[in-house]
Amino acid sequence: MIFSKKIFLKLLFLVLFSCLLLYYFIWKSNVKENGRLSVTSDVEVSQIVNSADQYLRNPFTFKAMLNIVGKIKTIKPGSYRLEKGMSNLTILRILVIGRQSPINLTFNNQDTLEKLAGRISLDMEFDSISLLEEMKNTVFLKENGFNTETALAMYIPNSYEIYWNISADKFLKKMLDEYHAFWNLERIEKAKTLNLTPIQVQILASIVQKETALVSERTLVARLYLNRLKSGWPLQADPTIVYSIKLKTNQDTIIKRVFKKHLLIDSPYNTYKNIGLPPGLISMPDISSIDAVLNAPKHDYFYMCASTENIGSHLFATTLSEHNRNAVKYQKWLNNQGINQ
């Protein structure tokens, strides 16, 4: 009787200990703070644990469970959201069934496809080289109304929910869908009233954005350029000269001042020598710049010059004589500041 009681107590202890152990390894909360776990197709168990380590109270129990499950089930690649309070069992369940959470991808102010590909690839599984190859795919561009000079227009700066391990080609299709969603019927009709295509609006918007950092001033600048286009005047936009120089030198040289010698540069982007819009975007315009072109209020300004009193803003003029007075004042200010390049 005593022997049977001892056995019973031992068995009870083993059962309770096993339940406690199972609870500790399987059901006990292990995620101490919200985070994200990214799993590539060729990742090893140790790498998964290392990636999740900063969010876990006890990485050892997670590693033990992951090793066991990994030998039975396939861990699916993807990006997974870890939420505070999750147990090892919950984490493993979403890894096995592949219940990904999309990431918020945000990009803006990229001047070239190369820079854009580099920025996007920081948050995605694919690398910048494979993405850039897809971005420059001439067949894809031609089929969708773009070319190598206007390809940047397809990417509207914004935040997008995207799955981390999406392929580069599917990512481009996603961006194309977002582009068409942005260019809704209302925006297309506004572009038509300006006698511009959506891409031409974005080309002009890229110049407007480089011309002024003041969002409140962009509609005025946009209408000034629209006035020049309508009258058959050259845009004479200094940002296009800076862009031409960068294309020519293949360098991101900082140019603080445009001289007369620069205006002679031979480039289709030189809006002093060429009438109309340049063949492509000189930067990635944000939505405020695009809408500034589409909603530019009418005025009679044809000239503008940087202000020496309100730095960052411009003085607008309707006549050349008025503009020349503003320009002389600005040139003197540049000289006094020692800005010679």
pTM above 0.85, yes or no: no
Cβ–Cβ under 8 Å, residues 101 and 81: yes
Task: Give the pLDDT score at 315.
Answer: 87
Q: Are residues 158 and 292 in the same domain?
A: no
pLDDT of residue 328: 79
Looking at the structure, tell me whether residues 200 and 319 fall in a common domain.
Answer: yes
For residues 116 and 20, membership in a common domain is answered with no
213 and 305 belong to one structural domain: yes
Domain boundary residue, one of 138, 167, 182: 182
Q: Are residues 140 and 19 in the same domain?
A: no
176 and 190 both lie in a single domain: no
Point out the domain boundary residue: 77, 97, 117.
97
Q: What is the largest distance, in Å, between two alpha-carbon atoms of the chain?
A: 116
- Parent domain of 244: 185-337
Q: Are residues 218 and 293 in the same domain?
A: yes
pLDDT digit string, tens, across residues 262-300: 888 999 999 999 999 999 999 999 999 999 999 999 999
What pLDDT digit, counting tens, does each position of 106-115 carry?
998 888 999 9
Tell whether 302 and 327 lie within a shared domain: yes
For residue range 67-94, list pLDDT tens digits in order. Answer: 887 776 788 888 888 989 888 888 888 8
Domain count along the chain: 3
Please name the residues in contact with 39: beta carbons below 8 A apart, sequence gap of 6 or more.
48, 51, 75, 76, 77, 78, 79, 80, 95
Residues 191 and 64 placed together within one structural domain of the fold:
no
Cα 145 to Cα 44, 151, 175, 207, distances in angstroms: 43, 9, 14, 21
pLDDT band at 304 (very low <50, low <70, confident <90, very high): confident
- What is the DSSP annotation of 253-316? -------GGGGG---TT-TTTSSS--SS-SS---HHHHHHHHTPPP----EEEE-SSSTT-EEE
Please answer whether residues 63 and 77 qualify as being in contact, where contact means their C-beta atoms are separated by less than 8 angstroms.
no
Mean pLDDT calculated for residue range 322-332: 81
Mean pLDDT for 180-197 is 98
Tell whether 228 and 126 lie within a shared domain: no
Mean pLDDT of 302-326: 85
| Residue 276 and residue 136 in one domain | no
Q: What share of the chain is helix, strand, coil (3-state, %, to 5)?
A: 55, 10, 35
List the CATH number of the domain containing 36.
Answer: 3.30.1490.480
Q: Return d(Cα 5, Cα 218) in angstroms, integer.
A: 88
Last residue of a domain, one of 43, 62, 97: 97
176 and 193 inside one domain: no
